[in-house]
Structure 1
């Protein structure tokens, strides 16, 4: 069976990491995996670079022609799209090619099309996508409510590499480190993170670290400077080893305005760093409030600050949360589970 995995680009993000994990771990004795994406720093994680096609970020007609050629020459059976943009590209290819192929779409994010033209979005998925994979039951129910055919949707949770993200009990330190690992963009709401740091600045033993890069880097940096928080909030940029950053934090926070099911939640749960997260999308399927982490119902600076201080002062609470969180990840969110279930989904549309 010949599989083509596609995503927009290989810059750091949840969909792109998912893409790399599948490429690395699908059983090579049973499938031949080809990949196509725009360039980015995650290219170094592609295992089979000889089967990778770099896409242009500006010339979409060239991409259409090259993907069409790849499908025909390599006799691609299934194309696994990891963005709606890829689905649209495949729609145009399907109209110009005689060879049939199945399109599987993993929906990682809230898309502009579903917000601005939901009827068109639903028509596209029902008519041209063989199977939609959602990364949470919350998202599956959302698509059903929109009108996507129930039988065309399956939920496969994101998976964490438990060898890479190994559990580690925290050692007591003089400084309590609060971190955020997210793309620096408007929807990730780093403004709230800065406001939290500002409100807690009288607690000199609490420090704040933001890992990640993105279009709002300078905006966020300027806000930190304006609030005179340069000594308290450190912008670290892109990091090569997220597991090390997460392990170094005493607590990780998620402040996003919207989410589907971010990988960072599972990664923190795996390594033993307690999560304080906004309750958005499918996050509650991993974080059970006060059992495997802490959920915040609204974007309230006071609520976040209260919970950060509570965790800082209660080591036993931190330990209880993280040990239960690790167990939940092992049971429900392992990389092996994700790859196995995805491979089984491919098998529904191809006889080995």
Structure 2
């Protein structure tokens, strides 16, 4: 069988890293893999560039014409869509060609159609998608509640490349680093991160680092100045090597309004950086107890501060978190497991 993996673009993000890791790792004597995506900085991570189809970021008609031609040329049997837009592409190509394609959809996030047009979203998945992979049980349950057919859905957790995100023993430093690694967009709630920094301003040894780029860069930069945090908070910008950023932090913080199952949680657990995270979405499926990290049930800056200071001041507590979290990732969230379970879906479809 011939499989075409598709994603919108190869720009830094959890879904895009997932796409690249699959492309790198998928190998089977009965399957031939091709990939298609819009350009971006992650293109360099694609191994088999001979089987890669470069799509436009904006010209959807041209993309559909090109992908239709490639589906015919490569005799594609399965399209694995890494976004809802790619599902729509696959459905359109199927109708244009009048060829029955098997469509797999890995659902990484909450989509606009899902929020605003639920019946349309549910009908689309039930009618056209052969198999849906959710990256958390939380998201699987959400689809059940929307009326998506249960037999179509399976959960395959994101997997960490433990060779890339290797455990790192931190050395004591005069600076205690608290970081956030996320796209600078409203749903990531950097405002709360800055509130935390403001409340901990009295501790001169604690510095805050914002990794990532996005549309809210000017707003966040202005807030740092307004809160008089220019000596306490540093904006790093685009992070090309997330493992280096995460390893460098003493604590990693998540403050998002919306998450399904963020890769950065598993990556921090893998390298040995303790987590203080908002308790939303599927995060609690990785941090199942306070043995593995600190979850905050509400958007309380004070509660975040309490956990950050507890980790900072209690080395025994910190070590317990680090060791337990690393062990949990190795047993349950390896890249090898993710690839094996995904391959099984292709072969059993």
Normalised by the length of structure 2, the TM-score is 0.98
Residue of structure 1 in register with 2:171 after alignment: 171
Indicate the residue corresponding to 1:290 in structure 2. 290
- Aligned equivalent of 1:205: 205
Structure 1 distance, partners of 2:29, 2:323, is 36
1:28, distance to aligned residue in structure 2 (A): 5.1
Aligned-pair RMSD on alpha carbons? 0.9
Name the counterpart of 2:31: 31
Inter-partner Cα distance in structure 1 for 2:213 and 2:204: 26
* Aligned-pair CA distance for 1:31: 2.4
Alignment-derived partner of residue 61 in structure 1: 61
SS at match of 1:287: coil
Taking the aligned partners of 1:295 and 1:254, their CA distance within structure 2 comes to 9
Stretches (4+) displaced over 3 A:
none
Q: Indicate conservation of the 8 Å contact 1:207/1:233, yes or no.
A: yes
Aligned partners of 2:213 and 2:155: how far apart in 1? 29
Q: Provide the residue aligned with 1:41 in structure 2.
A: 41
What residue in structure 1 maps to residue 91 of structure 2? 91
Q: Which runs of 5+ in 1 are unaligned?
A: none
Q: Equivalent residue for 2:187? A: 187
Q: Secondary structure at the match of 2:307?
A: helix
Aligned to 1:109: 109
TM-score if structure 1 supplies the norm length?
A: 0.97
1:299 maps to 299
Q: For residues 181-330 of structure 1, what are the structure 2 equivalents within 5 Å?
A: 181-330=181-330
CA distance in 1, matches of 2:16, 2:348: 24
Secondary structure at 1:12's aligned position in 2?
Answer: coil
Instruction: Measure how far apart 1:276 and its partner are.
Output: 0.5
CA separation in 2, counterparts of 1:93 and 1:215?
A: 32
| Structure 2 spans left out of the alignment, 5+ residues | none
Conserved in 2, the CA contact under 8 Å of 1:253 and 1:277?
yes
Aligned counterparts of 2:168 and 2:318: Cα–Cα separation in 1: 12
Q: Are positions 1:70 and 2:44 aligned together? A: no
Contact kept, 8 Å, 1:23 with 1:35, in 2: the verdict is yes
Distance (whole Å) between structure 2 residues aligned to residue 182 and residue 166 of structure 1? 20
Tell whether the 8 Å contact from 1:209 to 1:235 is kept in structure 2 after alignment. yes
Distance 1:77 1:315 in 2: 54
Mapped partners of 1:268, 1:213: distance in 2: 19
Listed one character per residue, the Cα deviations across residues 61-80 of structure 1 (whole Å, up to 9, x for unaligned) are 10110111111000011111
In 2, the alpha carbon distance for the partners of 1:56 and 1:26 equals 25
User: Partner of 2:119 in structure 1?
Assistant: 119
- The 8 Å contact of residues 288 and 294 in structure 1, kept in 2 or not, is answered as no
1: CA distance between counterparts of 2:288 and 2:57? 40
Whole-angstrom distance in 2 between the partners of 1:32 and 1:217: 41
